[in-house]
Structure formats: structure tokens, C-alpha cells
Amino acid sequence: MSLRDYAEVLVDIAYEAGRRKFRPSDNFRDTAATLIAWGDEFSRQHGDANRTEKEYLDEIYRFTDEKLRSVPSKNDPNAEFDIAFLNRTALERHGYDTATITDGDLQKLAERMGDYYCESSKFSEDLRTACGDFGLKFRDTTNPK
């Protein structure tokens, strides 16, 4: 993919993210890094596509829409925060082959790990310990005063 083609993909993704007021944190560099990673992933997936076809732009917007829905924005009152973080290095360190895994696959795997952990018996105990370390007070809702 040429630098110009890559730049156009990145601009399309950034434009759509800006139009929808995407802001995962107060740190601009975090947002920029996220958008660049999305541009990289899209470019890997569609490197040899014909960019003059209308469907190509539609594919960029579908890709961006999926990404924007998968990452909560800072101002979203229903924001969820990932409890698991995975990268290729961690998977390889545990013996897994990462040659064909995409960034989207990594995110889905991390979400699945988070779901499994949050549903496990250990989660409640670890949450209580972490909240206590953080200084949050426990409010027993089963015995109202």
C-alpha cells in the first residue's frame, strides 16, 4: 500500500471518529494511537483492494463504525472498561501461534477472558481487595441501616 493510500485510509477513519466525537480518554496521544492502530489493521486487511470503487469507502466506514462501537468513549455514561489486556507477545509467551490473529481477534479474546473472569468466583474477592486498596468503601445493600 502506498503512503498516500494509507494516509487516505487514516484520514477517513479519523474524520469519522471526530464526527462522532470519539474520545476514549483525555490523552490525545492515546486517541491518536488507537486511530493509527485501526488504520494499520484496515490496511493489512484491505491492502490490495481497488480504492476507486465506491464499495471501498463503504468498507472503511463499516470498519470504523464497528471499531467505534467496540471502544467506549470517555463521555459515555454506560462505558465499560476492559478487565483483560492481551497482545501478541503475551500469547506467544504462553505458547500460542499469533501468525494469523488480527487486532480485532485480540480484542474479542480479551473481552472473552474478561467475561469469564467477571463470572468466576474469584472476581468478587479480587474486586473487594482492589476496591479496598483503592480506598472505596463497601456499602452492604442487603442490610440497609
For residue 19, give the amino acid letter. Answer: R
What is the rounded end-to-end Cα distance, in angstroms, of the chain? 65
Q: How confident is the model at residue 81 (pLDDT cuts 50, 70, 90)?
A: low
**Which of the 8 DSSP states describes residue 136?**
P
**Which of the 8 DSSP states describes residue 141?**
S
- List the grid coordinates of 137: 468503601
- List the grid coordinates of 17: 471518529
The pTM (predicted TM-score) of the whole model is 0.49
pLDDT at 23 (0 to 100): 80
> With contact defined as beta carbons under 8 Å apart, do 56 and 49 qualify?
yes
pLDDT at 2 (0 to 100): 83
DSSP strands (E only) in 18-103: none
pLDDT at 75 (0 to 100): 60
